[in-house]
Amino acid sequence: MVFAIIIFILLFTSIISGYKSYSILQAERNLAQHHAEEDFHSQPDRHPHRVAHYGSYAFRPKSALSFLDAGLDPYTGTMVYLEAHQQNSANFSQAQQSNTLIRIGEMTMAFVMQWLMPLLIIFLCFNAFTQERENGTLKLLMSQGISIQQIAKGKIMGFSLLITIVIFPAFLIAILTSLVINNEPWNFDTALRLFTMLLSYAAYFFIFITGSVLISSLCKQSKTALIALLGCWIFFCVVIPKLTVSLGDALFQTPSKAAMDAAIHRQAKNGINGHDDQDKRTKEFTEKLLKKYGVDSASQLPVNLGGLVMAEGEAFSSKLYQKHFDELVNTYEKQNNISKWSGFLNPYQSIRAISMSMAGSDFRHYVTFLNAAESYRFKLAQHLNHLQAYKLANKAKDTRLDKSEYNHYPEFSYNPPTFWQVLFPSLISIFALYIWALGIYILCITILKNISIL
Amino acid sequence: MIKQFRTLTYFEWLNFRSERSMLLFAMLILLSGLYGIYSGSSLINNQKSKLEALDKLYQENIAEMKQKFPADADAGDIGYYHSTFAKNLPDNWAKLSIGQRDVAPSYLKLRLLAVQNQLYASENTNPFKLSVGSFDLAFVFVFLLPLFIISISFNVLSSEREQGTLALVLSFPVKLSTFLLAKLTFRFIVVAVIVFTLSITGWLWADVVIDARALTWLMAILLYALFWFSVSFAIIAIKRNSAFNAVSLLGIWLLLVVIFPVLAKTYSEVKIPVDEGLAISLKQRQEVHSGWDKPRAETMKRFFQRYPQFKDTTSVEGAFKWKWYFAFQELGDASVESLFENYMQKLTTRAALSANLDMLSPAAKLQQTINGISGTGFQAQLDFLLASKNYHERLKKFYYPFLFKNLPFTHDDFASEPQMSFRSKADDLQIFNGLIAMMGATVIAILAGLIIYKSSNNILE
């Protein structure tokens, strides 16, 4: 009972604190994004290439449900500076800006549900059988013709009901809070995400309940059952996740940003195969252009050569960057896949993956944002290069373009992946979780059929 | 009394050898410790090899510059196209406690351009990995060692009672307190042996310089172990059954190792939000780029207020001049100087707030102490940031005379470009503060244990 109250209080505080930090961060980013747009739109007349260097910013919006599970958000950059010629890193992650001594999680609902709830369940269930055995009431029950299986089923049902009672109000509060956060009318996508979370957490708790009842039935003493269960918890929730992650890191190496940028620069300069350098590409491009317009010198062109050459260069280097970036992401996914697949050994890792992907704070959501930012950067740079090409033909280098030409450029906006897009990659984890739930239930029933419990 | 004590300890040793669970736990903690040493070392070695590779990139960049500018160059071209690195070299101690080193970048790529646009760049990182954190030796000591201590001491009395052997022991002329003390002392020795073994293995493996830091390291960890033994004693002193002891001790572990630090961090972040970083970026960009639109003379006048030694430089009117460009880069940095100070101030205040709240958690204090020893704490991260900014100042000092006195930049001049490699030192303040906090907590736990022991019922009732 005491534990139930503690958990309820923790759930409640975690939702409040999750909401609080969500709103602070979201407000910071909204404000910054707003300022950045205002700055962009109030530029004076400028040469388009000046505007391209002035650039733009992408601030990563917090997803609506991230107040329930901050996931990777504290470790991802919040701001990308988008300028011509170069792809900047996402900067100012929360983790870089605070002194995190104990890196175990944020005070969000996910932390309580994934980490602390299993402990509550263990504390509740460890003596489910052992106590009855120690008090001699087990014999009494059996003598009334109730099979051990029935007792176990009853206990699992009872505990599941109890946990539901503890969790339900918290989830209700969570849903209400998410209604407040979504300024727009509550959409179906969010509902599906919440629903998937709910079903997954239910399976997760069921695994721990059944597992605890099983261990309790196998142990002679409450003490032994408790120690065994706590050992499992430490192993699953503390040790294995770190082990798999450090293993992934050791197995798959990634280049430093400096090395990656240098490789891109080298390839852009010398051509991908080393035979097709930048000067040669520019020369060929110019000749093609002269031919197309039927003139013999750049000054006779009806377009601005510099702008078109830059657009070519931007397209070439951006493609290179994207290739390297995709490789990098690919390596990260390989690293992370070790954790994903170990979900079949460890339900904690499955629930963590499902929960943050539903909350919109997992790796995939982050990469989607980075790609959206890069694609916006590329389009903006090309838009400005084309303005230079077609509006500033045969003009001096320092000619300024009227600001009305570019200051209506649409601002950065980002569409997070939809529920269905994130559901598919999460299926492995969901599958692993349900295999566990089903497997442990069947195991429990089979073992208890063939056991003499007294 | 002493003899009794020795006999009891000896019997505990026999007991330990025959009892499988305790041996198993000891093996587990040793294995995790070894893995922690391996994994921490491999992470830092990885960082080191990436840092070493930067030298090659630097040389490549210089070669490219020499090719691009075969004769004497305008220093402005070099300042714009050439980049150098501010390196944050890890001490080998960092292998044992990664601290902030995986979160914060271990180098910054710098050009002569406005520094405030370059100071906050991030390294390629896998956020999933960062969120789970590293499995270093520090993790084993901070997280797992208390669990080991709890698991070998929670039932020292209760199991004897539950097996019925306690009455037997107490029928001899042995005081319960001597008996309990002997048992706990024996276990403390086991833990100390494990701590020594792992630490020495770690030092040798990580190839650290063994100096006063080694002594502080051992002191901090043994003090932490003592704290957990005191807590165990306080719970044992209530003289309830094994299950009660296990649940209470694990509850305390959860509270002190996990919940308090998480709450402290969350609270400090909500209490002191820091958005200066974003503000710096926006304002600095605005200021730098407005340089193109402002009258050149005005820009130069403002620049000369900061650098009067260059006010006799030739005119910047007419065709594009790099020195004008770098003058407004400089002014862009100057415009956010106070914001930057605020930013650093706020980060420090926020860290101090969470460190104060962490007084409640000896685990956080141990982590703080060994991060301090390894030079991997938050302060070290900020120190590197400041050092990088200073390095940029040195670069300016080197390049500005070329720029503003119109001196040609020759190929030989690359050799005299300032270099920078930062290596953080042990942070005595953090270490001292952490040790004091742990000592305080240990004294409180012992006193509480004694009071509980005195006031609780006879064990055999």
- Whether A11 and A115 have beta carbons less than 8 Å apart is answered as no
Q: Given CB atoms, is B363 within the 8 Å cutoff of chain A? A: yes
Structure tokens given for B316: 């910047």
The residue of chain A nearest to residue B267, with distances taken between CA atoms, is A17
Q: Looking at residue B217, what is its pLDDT?
A: 97
Helices (H) and strands (E) in chain B, counts: 19, 3
* Residue B43 binned pLDDT confidence (cut-offs 50, 70, 90): very high
* Residue B461 binned pLDDT confidence (cut-offs 50, 70, 90): low
- Whether A245 and A348 have beta carbons less than 8 Å apart is answered as no
* A101 neighbourhood in chain B, CB within 8 Å: 261, 265, 354, 358, 364, 367-368, 371
Q: Given CB atoms, is A42 within the 8 Å cutoff of chain B? A: no
Give the C-alpha separation, B153 to A37, whole Å: 62
Q: Looking at residue B102, what is its pLDDT?
A: 92
* Residue B197 binned pLDDT confidence (cut-offs 50, 70, 90): very high
Contact (CB<8Å) B258/A17: no
Q: Given CB atoms, is A339 within the 8 Å cutoff of chain B? A: yes
B146 alpha carbon, distance to own chain's centre: 20
Query: Which of residues 343 through 362 in chain A touch B, CB cutoff 8 A?
Result: 362
Q: Given CB atoms, is B151 within the 8 Å cutoff of chain A? A: yes
Q: Of the candidates A368, A365, A377, which has an alpha carbon nearest to the alpha carbon of residue A321?
A: A377
Q: Whose structure tokens read 């599941």?
A: A160
* A105 neighbourhood in chain B, CB within 8 Å: 262
Give the C-alpha separation, B250 to B302, whole Å: 63
* B141 neighbourhood in chain A, CB within 8 Å: none
Q: Given CB atoms, is A272 within the 8 Å cutoff of chain B? A: no
A367 alpha carbon, distance to own chain's centre: 8
Residues B374, B378, B384: CA angle, nearest 5 degrees? 85
Contact (CB<8Å) B262/A107: yes
A103 has a pLDDT exceeding 90: no
B263 has a pLDDT exceeding 80: yes
Contact (CB<8Å) B123/A93: no
**To the nearest whole percent, how much of chain A has pLDDT over 70?**
97
Other Cβ atoms less than 10 A from the Cβ of B297: the count is 12
Q: Whose structure tokens read 């509060």?
A: A173
Q: In terms of residues, how long is chain A?
A: 454
Other Cβ atoms less than 10 A from the Cβ of B254: the count is 14
**pLDDT tens profile A191-231:** 899 999 999 999 999 999 999 999 998 888 888 888 889 88
Domain ranges of chain A: 1-454
Of A17, A79, A336, the CB nearest to B278: A79
Query: Which of residues 410 through 449 in chain B touch A, CB cutoff 8 A?
Result: none
Mean pLDDT over residues A35-56, rounded?
A: 90
Contact (CB<8Å) A72/B132: no
Q: Whose structure tokens read 């069947």?
A: A442
Contact (CB<8Å) A119/B254: yes
Burial of A98-124, coded b for 16+ CB within 10 Å and e otherwise, reads: bbbbbbbbbbbbbbbbbbbbbbbbbbb
B340 has a pLDDT exceeding 70: yes
Interchain CB contacts (distance < 8 Å): A and B: 237
Structure tokens given for A78: 């919040």
Contact (CB<8Å) A335/B351: no
Q: Looking at residue B347, what is its pLDDT?
A: 95
Can you spell out the DSSP letters for A390-401? HHSTT--TT--B
Contact (CB<8Å) B261/A101: yes
Structure tokens given for A88: 């900047």
* Residue A367 binned pLDDT confidence (cut-offs 50, 70, 90): very high
What is the SS3 assignment for A158?
helix
Of B125, B246, B285, the CB nearest to A227: B246
Contact (CB<8Å) B122/A339: no
Give the C-alpha separation, A420 to A17, whole Å: 29
Query: Which of residues 172 through 231 in chain B touch A, CB cutoff 8 A?
Result: none
* Residue B445 binned pLDDT confidence (cut-offs 50, 70, 90): very high
Which helix (H) or strand (E) element contains residue A118?
helix A117-125
Contact (CB<8Å) A245/B128: yes
Q: Looking at residue B434, what is its pLDDT?
A: 95
